[in-house]
Amino acid sequence: MHLRALIVLLLAMNLGVALWWALKPAPAAAPPLGIPADVPHLVLVSEADRELLQAAALNATNAASAAARPDAAVAEGGDEALVAPEDLRCFSFGPWEDAGAAAQARTRLQPQAVRIRLREAVTGATGWQVLLPPLEDRAAAEAAVERLVAAGFNDHFILGQGEQANAVALGRFSAEATARRHEAALREAGFDTAVAEPLGATGTESWIDLAAGPDLDPGQAREAAGAARAEPLDCAQLQ
């Protein structure tokens, strides 16, 4: 009797629970999370505006190109387009025996520069020579001399012994600038191996070559850089 009553009670309880689940109201929808107005929304590529995508890709490409661009040997001063070539003024500042001090001076001068470079110059030279380095043999040297004469260069001498055997000497000069001009003329004529070399050099020193606009005061620039001298320079040497 008790067992039957227990079974009936359990059935009644199950029916009650089933009826409660069937009749209970549906749960209210949870309110959406609030997102601050300044937080950007995630947009699928398929939903994005095509023109905006192209503009973003172009900006990314330009940024990558700028990051990858190497520093030039002749640097990074002002905007050269703002200064007419005939208005450029060029000077050499120096010398410095310490390369680190010269590099710091270059940094101080750079804001005033249209073009600027740091170069090493030899010291103690008793003169300069221009030559074609040693060729394979005497015949090659004589062939080079024939080409020199045809190009209008008549000052030459084939060296016959030592480490410079079969080199072609093309003149000796007291000043570096004169030797450099002769070297440049030979190279322009097609003798690409022509080189100007110092004679009796004992060391090196650093100089800063700078091209700037007409407002540059070389005296003030020299003091700012801590240079001993400011010498006029042919701007063509900074091209």
pLDDT digits (tens, 9 = 90+) for 101-127: 999 999 999 999 999 999 988 887 888
- The answer to the question of residue 96 being in a domain is yes
- The answer to the question of residue 102 being in a domain is yes
Q: Which pLDDT does position 63 carry in this prediction?
A: 43
Q: Which pLDDT does position 176 carry in this prediction?
A: 85
List, for residues 175-186, the tens digit of each pLDDT value.
Answer: 888 999 999 999
Provide the number of structural domains found in the chain. Answer: 2
Q: Which pLDDT does position 74 carry in this prediction?
A: 47
- Is 163 in the same domain as 145? yes
Q: Which pLDDT does position 72 carry in this prediction?
A: 37
- Is 170 in the same domain as 190? yes
- Is 131 in the same domain as 220? no
- Is 146 in the same domain as 191? yes
- Is 156 in the same domain as 139? yes
List, for residues 122-167, the tens digit of each pLDDT value.
Answer: 887 888 999 999 999 999 999 999 999 999 999 889 998 888 899 9
Residue 163 amino acid letter? E
Q: Which pLDDT does position 33 carry in this prediction?
A: 56
- Is 148 in the same domain as 117? no
Model confidence at 27, pLDDT cuts 50, 70, 90, reads low
- The answer to the question of residue 76 being in a domain is no
Q: Which pLDDT does position 146 carry in this prediction?
A: 95
Q: What is the CATH number of the domain that holds 162?
A: 3.30.70.1070
- The answer to the question of residue 150 being in a domain is yes
What is the reported pTM?
0.47
- Is 119 in the same domain as 207? yes
- Is 95 in the same domain as 188? no
- Is 157 in the same domain as 171? yes
User: What's the per-residue H, E or C state across the chain?
Assistant: CHHHHHHHHHHHHHHHHHHHHHHCCCCCCCCCCCCCCCCCCCCCHHHCCHHHHHHHHHHHHHHHHHHHCCCCCCEECCCHHHCCHHHCEEEEEEEECCHHHHHHHHHHHHHHCCEEEEEEEEECCCEEEEEECCCCCHHHHHHHHHHHHHCCCCCCEECCCCCCCCCEEEEEECCHHHHHHHHHHHHHCCCCCCEEEEECCCEEEEEEEEEECCCCCHHHHHHHHCCCEEEECCHHHHC
CB 105 within 8 A of CB 226: yes
Model confidence at 42, pLDDT cuts 50, 70, 90, reads low
- The answer to the question of residue 64 being in a domain is no
Query: Does residue 27 have a cis bond before it (omega within 30 degrees)?
Result: no
**Does residue 221 have a pLDDT over 50?**
yes
Using a pLDDT cut of 90, give the percent of the chain over it.
Answer: 47
Q: Which pLDDT does position 62 carry in this prediction?
A: 43
Range of the domain at 98: 86-123+203-238
- The answer to the question of residue 169 being in a domain is yes
Q: How far apart are CA 106 and CA 203, in angstroms?
A: 21
- The answer to the question of residue 5 being in a domain is no
- Is 133 in the same domain as 233? no
**Does residue 188 have a pLDDT over 60?**
yes
Mean of pLDDT values over 191-195: 94
- The answer to the question of residue 99 being in a domain is yes
